[in-house]
Amino acid sequence: MFRYEKMLEYPINIKKKDLKMAKLLNSQLGGPDGELGASLRYLCQRFTMPDERGRALLSDIGSEELGHVEMISTMVRQLVKGASIEELKEAGLDAYYTSHKRGIYPMDANGVPFTTAYIASTGDPIVDLAEDMAAEEKARATYENLMDLTSDPDLLAPLSFLRQREVVHYERFKELLEYYKNNKIS
Amino acid sequence: MYYDERENLVNYSVKDEENNYTEYNLTNKNEKKWDNDFKIDINNININNYRHIKRTLFSDREGFNKGNMIIEEYVPYKNYVYKVVVKGERDELLLKIQELTFKVIDLNLYLDIHPNDEEMYKVFKNTVQELKKYKDMYEKNFGPLCVTDTLYYDSYKWLKNPWPWMNEGGVNNV
């Protein structure tokens, strides 16, 4: 069961409107290495984890990723809020406006809608954990690319926080995979 | 003669008889020259045990700003480090709650893999206790964080603004 807490994992406080960055940030919402995919990936895979450690870790990281979905959505919303039609057109968001106005919709930076084809859940814990480690590293790289594309500290702070979380998750998945391999659990 | 369990298909004794100069033949990879000349089985080394024997924690605030509580595992990108600064009693209290919640989340993940680390469990338990105290204080003064935080009120307050994404011009920290 899930219960909502009425706060973000890390505060987001964007003062400057930036439609270009809003468009790009979508890649971490509904893109191939985005937070929504991460959350679904772990919350599906946890059902076939072979021991308590795996069940606990995938449940906990999957839940944290849901909080990251909320953070990215908040960033996109705050960046888009109050933009005029002209500004949206100029930033290449006119197609977005046609379907979603100034709302939130999980898609990547090019407007490709989110698909579960981005995730894998094979039922084999060794395969799944290897996939999870790769996913965390891809997300980390995407955050670094996004950080290269902006100079606004209000954006850089939460992006650097989220990037560091990928580092931690990678470390935990790696420890679990090593534990399973060393103890021949699968 | 040497016997290696992992390479027991190779018959060393026969080889020794055939060639008396194997000791000087550097290209012969199956030959061991000294007792400490052993092969490392990379798949069976737990690298984590060597790399992170000791785990030390950042302070609550620093760990929250960095996104990682464990000093040895922190990997920065281009030296980007940010500090969250807030104004006002309500936002300061909320930031304190966010910091402690973050510490609980990070230690939670660590303890999932290292459930027998008693020292870390003590830190985890103390943090949860402290968090409970601050959440109670927030609930009493500024409204519920969970829908069940309702014991201090006579009316239904859960739906009240601001919701976490409503941060107009950066007034609220939520």
* Maximum CA extent, chain A: 60
ipTM here: 0.95
**What does the alpha-carbon distance between residue A2 and residue B92 come to, in Å, rounded to a whole number?**
27
Q: Which residues contact B8 (CB under 8 A, 6 or more apart)?
A: none
Please tell me the predicted confidence (pLDDT) of residue B18: 52
Question: Considering only CA atoms, which of A140, A124, A142, A138 is closest in space to residue A181?
Answer: A124
For chain A, how many residues are written?
A: 186
Question: Considering only CA atoms, which of A105, A106, A126 is closest in space to residue A118?
Answer: A106
Closest partner residue to A163 (CB to CB) among B77, B84, B101 is B77
Which residues of A, range 24-53, sit inside 8 Å of B by Cβ?
52-53
Please tell me the predicted confidence (pLDDT) of residue B34: 55
| Beta carbons of B67 and A161 less than 8 Å apart | yes
Please tell me the predicted confidence (pLDDT) of residue B54: 80
Q: State the average pLDDT for chain B.
A: 78
Tokens at B48, concatenated: 């984590």
CA B20 to chain centre: 54
Lowest mean pLDDT among A176-185, B135-144, B159-168: B159-168
Q: Flag whether residue A150 sits within 8 Å of chain B, measured between CB atoms.
A: no
Please tell me the predicted confidence (pLDDT) of residue B80: 81
**B19 vs B59 pLDDT, higher one:** B59
Please tell me the predicted confidence (pLDDT) of residue B3: 47
Three-state DSSP state, A37: helix
* Region class of B78: left (phi > 0), else alpha (psi between -120 and 50), else beta: left
CA B39 to chain centre: 32
CA A89 to chain centre: 26
Q: What 8-state DSSP symbol labels residue B69?
A: S
| pLDDT tens sequence across B31-87 | 555 555 555 555 555 555 444 568 899 999 999 999 999 999 999 998 788 888 888
Tokens at B58, concatenated: 């950042």
Tokens at A65, concatenated: 């990723």
Closest partner residue to B66 (CB to CB) among A78, A164, A179 is A164
Nearest CA in chain B to A73: B165
A69, A63 Cβ separation under 8 angstroms: no
Q: What 8-state DSSP symbol labels residue B163?
A: P
**What does the alpha-carbon distance between residue B158 and residue B143 come to, in Å, rounded to a whole number?**
7
**B17 vs A91 pLDDT, higher one:** A91
Nearest-CA distance B30 → chain A (Å): 26
Three-state DSSP state, B17: helix
| pLDDT tens digits in sequence order for chain A, 186 residues long | 999 999 999 999 898 899 999 999 999 999 999 999 999 999 999 999 999 999 999 999 999 999 999 999 999 999 998 899 999 999 999 999 999 999 999 999 999 999 999 999 999 999 999 999 999 999 999 999 999 999 999 999 999 999 999 999 999 999 999 999 999 887
Residue keyed to tokens 């005029």? A84
Q: Flag whether residue A126 sits within 8 Å of chain B, measured between CB atoms.
A: no
Closest partner residue to B146 (CB to CB) among A5, A13, A160 is A5
Report chain B residues whose CB lies below 8 A from the CB of A163: 67, 77
Closest partner residue to A61 (CB to CB) among B70, B98, B109 is B109
* Disruptive mutation site among B109, B139, B145, B157 for chain A (greatest number of A CBs within 10 Å): B109
Beta bridge partners of B70: B57
